Structure formats: structure tokens, C-alpha cells
Chain A
Amino acid sequence: MKTSEMEIKTLDYKNAIKDSFIKLTVQTQIKNPVMFVVYFGCLMATIICLWSYFTNKLSVFDVQICIWLWFTILFANFAEAIAERKGKAQADTLKKSRTDLVAKVVSESGISNLSAEFLKKGMIILCEVGDVIPADGEVIEGIASVDESAITGESAPVIREAGGDRSGVMAGTKVVSDYIKICVSCEKGESYLDKMVSLIEGAKRRKTPNEIALNILLCFLTLLFIVCVFTLKFFVVYLKGGTFSIDSTELLIYISLLVCLAPTTIGALLSAIGISGMERLLRRNVLAKSGKAVETAGDIDILLLDKTGTITYGARMAYEIIPAPSVSIDDLARATFLASLEDQTPEGKSIIQYLYHKFQVTKYNIPKESVRFIPFTAETRMSGADLIDEDGKAFSYIRKGSTEAIKKYILSFSGSFPYEVEETSRNIAQMGGTPLVVSIDKEVLGVIYLKDIVKTGIKERFEVLRKMGIRTVMVTGDNPLTAATIAAEAGVDDFIAEATPEAKLKRILKEQNQGRLVGMIGDGTNDAPALAQADVGIAMNSGTQAAKEAGNMVDLDSDPTKLLDVVETGKELLMTRGALTTFSIANDISKYFTILPAVLTGVLVINNHDLGTYLNILNLATPQSAILSTVIFNAIVIVALIPVALKGVGRVKRSAQSLLTRNVLVYGVGGMVTPFIAIKIIDKIITFFSLI
């Protein structure tokens, strides 16, 4: 496994290097104005070198400058290429499961086979046990358990059924039981994943508003430096008191000056930052419809979460067992265990798990043959188990069910229903839980407290969100009391109880009117309007197609705390851009001090004092080495910062103030100091190997 991963990585790098050269076309370069200026400079430098060569004036210095200018472009291309390759690799692993699938299309004439490539929206397809679902869609008939591990990495199969909130299925997942008929909702090339892939390809990627704004600033700065360098020549001509003339090396020096001053660092990495942001999101199993949505996620002030299935597990689970008076808790545990042993409902399973963890009751405590499971029926509203002897004759009856059902059942045997048990049941119901009473024969043993359990670790994640300035609001259809209990347990800031779709929408609009950006996580069809209205709507993959259409992101793992990852990615995208822009601009200050003295050498010489030499505060060896060192630094710094562009500047989970302090120190002050040190070192190396 390791080696193959390594092979893929080397292949990625090899391909990225190849891409760097392919991207040298004018059409590609013109899309990035800053780098296009450098590109144009490179072309001019090449022509100058060729011309010098044919007129026998070519110097080693000229050639080296020319080569390093081209490297600047290539490094920039490489940054974008490697980000694309990584993103594509990530998308491919997701995509792999989708290729070469054959769909069974249901039509009036029966069932025909069709390649998944040719599926159209609205077609009905049949998926049976063992089939891989060929396209995204909605279940319209049947119920089946589906293995979504190929996409979500979660090994437990999930139930997908027609109607309700669990009707959405994803291409690439596998039916493991029963059969379902699916209405195709996305044609190939239209699905979320395909949209995501287009966000990863540099050429097709649409820029986000923040990126556009930054690009404009960078264009203005580049224009500024073009004018600066252009006019500098004329100021120099004036000071020399001569007429305008320029030789090939001097022209190269002015081109170098422009390339070094232009914000090439951020210009070169801008695209890579955007692409790798999407790639990081993909790695976290979140699909986004647009880059804009991801960045907006970074701005969210308030987050609305649907309670069921997002904050809680959705199904009620065993929380506690409370024995009736004069019944030992072990007796209750044992009876409960037997009654639930073959109960396949989530409640039943949770009881077994609870008993195992709490009382170490396992099925080995009792021989399996001696129990006959009585499934739940709507008529009795009870389930349970009969204990049987060797002949299969029942001798004892364990039942569990709602308080009313058991009470009726017990009374029909003229048994007595203890007052304490009724009291306990009422309390549990008041706290928002569900009481299940367990009885054996005529005797009431106690109550199982079923409760909507808050997912583990969710409180901590809300805590982090709060630290980042995001308030959480739980939305639930429960009564206010239940809602308050769960809200307190989950650690949300606020809750909306007895929420209707209108109530959710109203709350979102209210927050938006107060200037807040609202994020919404939901899965049900009744969440769709809210998902559409929210600034960032994240639909759970397990949710309905309507919910997925309405939102602008889909979480493949159906894990609401994923929003934290999305917020982080959004923030990181902006931060990385901001930090590298600051770095790029800060660099210019120090580059002026290394390259300008060299350019000005010989311009103003009075009494053997040369202005250029006097300004050379870094004491670089020669003007040529100073210029070459700066050009080399300018190119290398792009490569050096590729990891930052790909991984992001990190450490997002802090308050704005401390983030700012850190980034200003690292990228602002650091950006000013780094070039001085690096250029001095490069200058030493150049002089040591006498490259000039």
C-alpha cells in the first residue's frame, strides 16, 4: 500500500512537471495577469539573448537571468499543476467507483441494460442486491440497505427507502439487501462530484468574489511597478544628461527589476491556493457546488442545525433502566436483554449495547434456543420474548412496550401495575424521553429510559465554533422542554422548538436582516427552503434529493460537525491568500534595497562617489550578482511556498485578533526580513562559485 501510494505521488510530480511546460502557452498565461507580465518579460529576455548571441555580445549574466526568469514562470505553473494533480487524484478515487457501470432501466417494455454514461434525468432504474447504484437519484419504490463505504468510508450499511428523509442515494454506493427503484436525478457531468471536479481544474475554475478583489489589487500593483520601472529609466536618462539609449544587458536588468517587484509570489500561487482548498474539502468528504460557498462558510456568524440526525443520533436509544420496587436491577437487565436480543430496530440494538456496556450482559449468559422472539405488532403494540423449554413450549413471557400497552396487558392477567412505575414513566416522558415498560408474566419489572442521544464529541466541536465566533442554533420539532434538555446537553447557544419549515425560514431571514451570515445543516425535504435561503446550506448525503438540490454543499459522511471543517477550509483559503499577499508586498521593500542600488550603479557619480555603491547597504558583491541573486530568490520563493499554498497557513481555530498578530509577524515582518538574508546567502554562493 505504501509503495503504491509513493508511486502515485512520484507520478503526480512527474505529470505536474510535464504540465508546467504545457501551461506555457499564451492562452493559459494570459488568464493570470501578474504572471503574464512576467511571461512577456521572459519572451523579451529570450529575444534579447538570441539577438546578443548573434551579435556576439551574449554574456553569462544575460543567459542566467534569462533562465531564471523562465524558472519563475515554470515554478508558478508547477504550483498550479501539482495542486490540480492532487485534486484530480482525490476526485479520481471518488470517481473510480462510478465508471463502467451498467444500469437496469425500467420502462414499459420491461428492463433493459444501459451504460451509466447514457443515463438521463428522470429515468427509472432498478438496483438489486449486489448492484452498484449507477447515478445519483431518489428511491421511489422499495427499501434497501445500502453500503456507502466507497464514498463515505463508513462501513455500516444505511437504510434507503421511498418517501421520507432517507430517499437519496448516491452513485457509487452498493445495495446490500433487498431492491430499490430509483429515479435518476442527475445526468452524468451534472452531479455534485462532477461540479467539484470542475472546481479543481485551474482552467475551468470560476474565481470567487474575494479572489477577484485580490486579483484586481494585484493587477493595480503590477501596473504600478510597470510604470515605476518604465519611468525610472527616464529619470536615469535625465540625470545622466544624455539622450535615450539602452543596451541589451541594461534592458534585461530593467526586466528583472520589474519581475522582482511585481507580486509574483502571490500571483504564482493564487490559483494553487484555490484549487488545493477544494481538494482539502474533498478529502474531508464534502462536495461543494462552488468555491464561493466555501469562502462564505468562513464568514458564517450563526449556524442552524436540524436536531434529528445531526445533533442527536436520530433514533431513540437506551439511556437507563429503572427497576420497579422490589425488583433487582440484574433481573430487569436480564429480562430486558432477552426481550431485545433479536429486536432489529435501532432501539432494540441500542438496548443490547447499553446492557452490554453497563452490566456486561451477553448472549452467552443464556442459551439461544431457549428464547422465541415475539416481534412488535401494531395490534399489541408490544414486542418481547417467550422463554421455551426443550419441547418448544413457552413457560414464561417477557414483554416490553409503551406504558399503556403493558398496563393493559398486565391488567388482563389481573396483575397489578405499580404506581411508582407509572410515576417514573411520566417523568421520563416529561424530560423528552420515551419510557418502555418491561414485564415478565404478571409482574412489572421496570422501565427502560429511551432517549435521543447527543452524538459524542459534538459539544467540544460547538465549543470550537463558539471560539471562532459562530453561534449555534438547534432546530427541532420537539416541545420546548425536550428541546431545552437536549440543547443544554449538546451545548448549543439557542434552540427553536416546535419548528415548522416556515419558522426555520423566518429565523434565517431575521438573522440575515441583522447582517449575519447564516449556515444551515439539514437533511429533510422540509429543510429545503431553509437550506436554499441560508447563505451556506449543507445537505446531509443521507438526506432527500430536494434537500441536496437546495443546499450548496453536500456532506458525504452526513456528519454535521463537518461544518467545522468547511468553515476552517473557507477561512484558511482567505488567510493563505492574505498572508501570501502580505508576504509578497513586504518582500518588495527589501528587494528595492537589494536590486535598486545595482540598477543605479553608475548613474550618479560625483567625486568618485557612486550613488549605487553607497546605497548597497547589504554589501552584495557586484551589481550583477545582486540582480541575479534577487531574481533567483524571487523564483525560488515560489517553490518554497508551494507547501504553504497547498496546506494553507493553518491554525485557524483562534480569535481574529491573535490570528492577525501571528500572520502579520510571520508574513509581514518575516516577509521583510527573509529576502535580506536569503539574497545575501545566494549572493555569497554566486560569488563563491563565480557564476558571474
Chain B
Amino acid sequence: MKIDVIILWVVYFLILSVAGIMLGKIMAHIFKEKGVALEEKILKLIGIDAFTAMNWKEYLLAVIVFNFVGLILLQLILMTQHWHPFNPEARNGLSFWMAFNIATSFVTNTNWQNYGGESTLSYFSQMLGLTVQNFLSASTGMAVLLVFIRSLVKKEITFMGNFWSDLTRFTVRILLPLSFVFALFLISQGVPQTLNGSVSVKTLEGKELKVPVGPVASQIAIKMNGSNGGGFFNANAAHPFENPTPVSNFFQLITILLLPVSCVFMLIFMLPRKQEGYPVLGVMTVLLLLGVVLSYWAQVQTIPITHMSFREGVDSRFSLSECSLWSVATTAVSNGSVNCMHSSLSPLAQLVALFNMMTGEVIFGGVGAGLYGMLLYVLMTVFLAGLMVGRTPEYLGKKIESKEVIWASFALLAPGLFNLLFSAWALNFQLGLASLSHSGSHGLSEVLYAFSSTFGNNGSAFAGLNANTTFYNITTGFAMLFGRFAVIVPVLIIAGSLGPKKKSPIGPGTLKTDTLLFGVLLFSVILILGALTFFPVLVLGPVAEHLILNIF
């Protein structure tokens, strides 16, 4: 292995850890802070009560209503963008199902794109529609995570914080400053930030070429920070205006993981005993590193027929290590931005990307969403392991009973089940098959990737599949809504059930959840649940393709 790859990895993870710890501490402080903050006073002026703590039902209602209103608004903005200002290229309003798909995509923090941003959307839609949801969807994930953490950490708590307060505090104090600074950095690297229309240039051949620009930097900043990933341009971070320099590439890589990593450190700082958070952090880290190494290894193999490595689909500005690191980070975290085309990754690197998404985006995962998903796995592990020590399972002193098991199993398994059903449907249905650009195993991967990405709220695209058809707009739209809310609702139900429970003190008979052994178990449960669900289809997709490419 080349030394520069090692250096890239070490520097990357070092900066990430330091920044993550610092930001995690700040976040823990912000949400611990009692008293009346300025944001809440402002909310009061517009008639929103951000003071009274909510029970889980009220909180859930607030989340659903807020997201539903956001969805409708975005849908309307997209369908009527020709009426709005900031539309120098005179883009037309979108069709209902296309707008539905985009709206769901941005509200659910998926940011799956079935359109080319520069050729479809007006600046108004990009800025007031998409960018706003980039902020709010990330904050929604964070708010749900906070409720979950409070229900676990505090004893006998029924009222677990105020949604409006959590939402605004995170948006105003973390996301906005972080994105503002990052946008300025991106502008310094050459990312455009303008409201003017496309720039006309004369090419060497003397032809007129329209180069699309726009308010790019402001959108890219939150796209990376909020684990959104929906780019301004179709080519996403492979586009030179979104990701102009090696420095911008490196720091965008950092921002993919920054907030998700900070979430975990925030949890650690919020726990009464910090050690309890280490298995979560450890398992996420190990899964991520395994993916990074395996993906890079697969990427630098030579293809027997061409005697070349997997360079197809990688911009010549980037190295294979930057591409594979990005592909793993973006699928582990539900970011979904890409700096190379995943369809052209080596089959095993595709396998890594697919598996990352199939775990339900819990390897750091989306802002808030990754950690609450992982905590569901923790509950599942505690249940199995707790039984094995002969005690009603407990996590952080809270008893895990049938209600928690029902909803945790549902949230962890249901998206996977629907993923399989939808993929099988699409592959045996004329409307589904029509969008494929490959047959055989690679075609299977295309469809599987689309549904894994949408059910996992990742949003990265495989390329190759024409997803802007009514069939895929509806099915992936449903997938994104289901993948998001079929987890959020159970999480809040579980929080509602765990919160009021007593905290049992730790004794020698209690299952220890801060040990290496527990980490190993958690790791196994994630791998095994994923493997049991997806083993057959992964064998038929990427594994078969790998065998065909190398052996057959």
C-alpha cells in the first residue's frame, strides 16, 4: 500500500476525531443548557411555545406536522418555480411526481436526486426550497436523537424536551455558523456564489458554451454538514465547481463525517458514565475502517481483462484512494454526495457501499439519524445478550421489554424487507426494467442500490439507472418516506416507553454495556442482521459480478 494513502487516512481520521470531540462537547453543552435562550424568546414572538417540555406523542406530532408542512411547501415551490424570482435560466415548474420525489428526498434528509440540478431547478428552488430543507431535515434528525438520549439517560422522565427549542438551537447555533464558515471557505477555493445566470464562454473550437453557475457555495456547505448530499450540479462533488481543489475535496470529506461523529461524542458527554458510549463509538469506527480498507483494496485490484485498475468513473483530478474513501464515507454516513461514479466502482467496493446503506445508515449515519439507528441496534443486542446473562435485559438501567423489542425490530427490519420486495418488483416489472442500463448482475445492483439508497435515506446514486420515471419517482419516494418515518416513529415510541421507566442500579448481575465483549456483540448483531437479510441478493449482485469479472 502506498504511503500517501496511509498519510491521507491518518491525517483524515485525526482531524476528524479532534474536531468531533470539540464539536460534540459544544453540542452537549448547548442542549444541556437550561433557562430561556434567545431563540426561544423569538419563537414566542411568532406564537410558538418553545418552553414547555413535550411528551413523546406531542413531540412526534410536532415532528410529523413540521415535516409534512415542509413537504407540501417544497412540493409547491418546485411545481411553481416558473412564477418565482431568481430564475435567470427560466426553468419551468416540475411535474407532480417529480416534485414529489424531490420534496420527499429533501425533507427526509435523503437528498436522492432524480434530476440534474443545474438544468432543472431555479435559484429560488435551490435556495429557499432545497437549502432550507437541508438545514431542517438535519435538525429534525438531531431533535429525535435528543429525545431518545434523554429517555435513556434520565430516570422517570415523561416530558422529554421541546421540539421547537431543540430544532432551533441546533439550526441556529451549530448548523448556521458551521455552514457559513464552510461556505466562505468553499468560495475561497473557487466555488461560485452568485445569483447571476450562466456564464457564456468561447471554447477553443470557437463555439459558444453556457457554463452554469449560481448560489453554489451556500448550498454545498450545508449539503456536506447536514449529511444531505444533494448537489447543486448533476455531477455532484465530481463537478469542478462543487469541488474545485484537493483542499476542498479533503475538507468536504471531513464535513461528511464531522457532525455524525460529533453526535456520538455528544452522546458520550451526555452519559452519566462516559464508558457506556465507547462500544457505540468503537463499533462505528471499526465498521467504517473495515469499509475504507476493503473498498480501497478492491479498487486498486487490476481487472483481468483490461489489466487496469478501476479508474473508470473517477475524475482524473482525484486519486483512487480519495474516491474510495469518499464512497465509503458517503454511504456510511447518510450523506450521499459522490466524487466518483459508484456504478463504476469495483464490485466489492460496491458491496461495501451497499452494505453500509443496508445496515440502515448506522455507521455514524446521518445527523442524529445514524446514532438513533445505532441505539436501536444496541437495544436489540442488549435484549439478546441480556437474556444470555439470565436477567430481564437493561440498557443504562432501563428495562428492555416487549414494546421496545417490537418497535426496534420493526425499525431495523421493515425497511430491509421493503427494500427486497421493491427491488424484486422492479426487476420483474416492465416499468422497472425499462430504466436499467445493464442486464444481469450489474442491473440487479443498479436497482438494489437505488432502493438501498432511498430506504436508507442515503441519497447517493449509482448512475446508470434512469430514476426519473413515474414508477421510480413513486416507489423511491415511498421508500424515502418509509425509510425515514418508519424509524423516527418507532424511536419516539420507544423513547416514550423507556423515559418513564426507573433506572436500576448497576450490580454484578447486570449486563455490562461498556465492555469490549459488548462491542463485539453489537458488531456481530449489525453484521448478522444485515447478512441474514441481504446475503442472497448480494451474492446475486456484486459478489456474482466480482466472480464473473475475475474468475469466470
Q: Give A residues with C-beta under 8 Å from B.
A: 209-210, 212-214, 216-217, 220-221, 223-225, 227-228, 230-232, 234-239, 241, 244, 261, 295-296, 298-299, 301, 467-470, 512-517, 570-575, 577-579, 581-582, 585-586, 588-589, 592, 596, 600, 603-604, 606-607, 609, 611, 614-615, 652, 655-657, 659-661, 663-664, 667-668
Contact = CB atoms under 8 A, between A and B. Distances in A.
A224 B416 contact: yes
Contacts of B552: 606-607, 609
Interface in B501-552: 502-505, 507-512, 515, 517, 521, 524, 528, 531-533, 535-537, 539-540, 544, 547-548, 551-552
B401 A663 contact: no
29 contacts: A216-B406, A217-B409, A231-B421, A232-B536, A232-B537, A235-B424, A235-B540, A238-B424, A238-B427, A261-B532, A469-B507, A469-B508, A513-B502, A570-B390, A574-B390, A575-B389, A577-B387, A578-B390, A585-B528, A585-B532, A586-B528, A596-B536, A596-B539, A614-B547, A656-B389, A656-B510, A657-B515, A660-B389, A664-B521
A214 B503 contact: no
B504 A516 contact: yes
A578 B423 contact: no
A239 B441 contact: yes
B192 interface: no
Contacts of B401: 209-210, 213
Given A515-B155, A655-B509, 14 more contacts: A221-B413, A223-B417, A231-B420, A231-B423, A232-B536, A235-B427, A238-B427, A513-B502, A515-B397, A571-B390, A578-B388, A582-B384, A604-B544, A660-B389
Closest 9 CB pairs of A and B: A578-B387, A469-B509, A571-B390, A469-B507, A578-B388, A234-B424, A515-B502, A213-B402, A231-B424
Interface residues of B, number: 64
Contacts of B409: 216-217, 220
B387 A581 contact: yes
Nearest to A469: B509
Given A210-B387, A235-B537, A614-B551, A220 B410 contact: yes
B390 A652 contact: yes
Contacts, number: 204
B143 interface: no
Given A224-B532, A515-B502, A578-B387, A660 B540 contact: no
Given A231-B420, A516-B504, A517-B504, A668 B524 contact: yes
Contacts of B417: 223-224, 227
B505 A301 contact: yes
B441 A299 contact: no
Nearest to A599: B536
B391 interface: yes
A212 B390 CA distance: 16
B408 to A, nearest CB: 9
A668 B397 CA distance: 25
B357 to A, nearest CB: 17
B423 A515 contact: no
A607 B304 CA distance: 15
Contacts of A239: 440-441, 444, 540
B7 to A, nearest CB: 37
A571 B508 CA distance: 14
A660 B503 contact: no
B155 A600 contact: no
A235 B536 contact: yes
A584 B384 CA distance: 12
A228 B420 contact: yes
A574 B387 contact: yes
B387 A469 contact: no
B72 interface: no
Contact of A659 (B389, B504, B544): B389
Contacts of B511: 656, 660
Contacts of A667: 388
B387 A575 contact: yes
Contact of A301 (B385, B388, B507, B515): B507
Contacts of B388: 575, 578-579, 582, 659-660, 663-664, 667
Interface in B397-454: 397, 400-402, 404-406, 409-410, 413, 416-417, 420-421, 423-425, 427-428, 439-441, 443-444
A318 B405 CA distance: 57
B387 A214 contact: yes
A472 to B, nearest CB: 13
B155 to A, nearest CB: 7
B386 interface: yes
A356 B383 CA distance: 57
B246 to A, nearest CB: 40
Say what secondary structure dominates the interface of chain A: helix
A63 B501 CA distance: 54
Contacts of B548: 604, 606
Nearest to A211: B402
Contacts of B532: 221, 224-225, 228, 261, 585, 588-589, 592
Contacts of B425: 234
A518 B507 CA distance: 14
Contact of A657 (B390, B439, B512): B512
Interface of B: 155, 380, 383-392, 397, 400-402, 404-406, 409-410, 413, 416-417, 420-421, 423-425, 427-428, 439-441, 443-444, 502-505, 507-512, 515, 517, 521, 524, 528, 531-533, 535-537, 539-540, 544, 547-548, 551-552
Nearest to B545: A604
A35 B442 CA distance: 37
A671 B384 CA distance: 14
B399 to A, nearest CB: 8
A217 B443 CA distance: 33
Nearest to A667: B388
A239 to B, nearest CB: 6
Nearest to A219: B409
Given A235-B427, A469-B508, A575 B390 contact: yes
A223 B421 CA distance: 12
B539 A615 contact: yes
Contact of B391 (A512, A516, A571, A663): A571
A666 to B, nearest CB: 10
A598 to B, nearest CB: 12
B390 A238 contact: no
Contacts of A578: 384-390
Contacts of A572: 390
B508 A468 contact: yes
Contacts of B551: 609, 614
Contacts of B387: 210, 214, 574-575, 577-579, 581
A217 B405 contact: yes
B392 A574 contact: yes
B364 to A, nearest CB: 25
A299 B400 CA distance: 13
Contacts of B428: 234, 237-238, 244
For B383, B392, B410, the residue with the greatest tally of chain A CB atoms inside 10 Å of its CB is B392
Contacts of B502: 512-515
Contacts of A468: 508-509
Contacts of A212: 402
B502 to A, nearest CB: 4
Contacts of B406: 213, 216
Contacts of A467: 508
Contacts of A604: 440-441, 540, 544, 548
A660 B385 contact: yes
Contacts of A574: 386-387, 390-392
Nearest to A236: B540
A513 B503 CA distance: 9
B444 A235 contact: yes
A11 to B, nearest CB: 33
For B389, B409, B420, B551, the residue with the greatest tally of chain A CB atoms inside 10 Å of its CB is B389
Contacts of B439: 241
B384 A655 contact: no
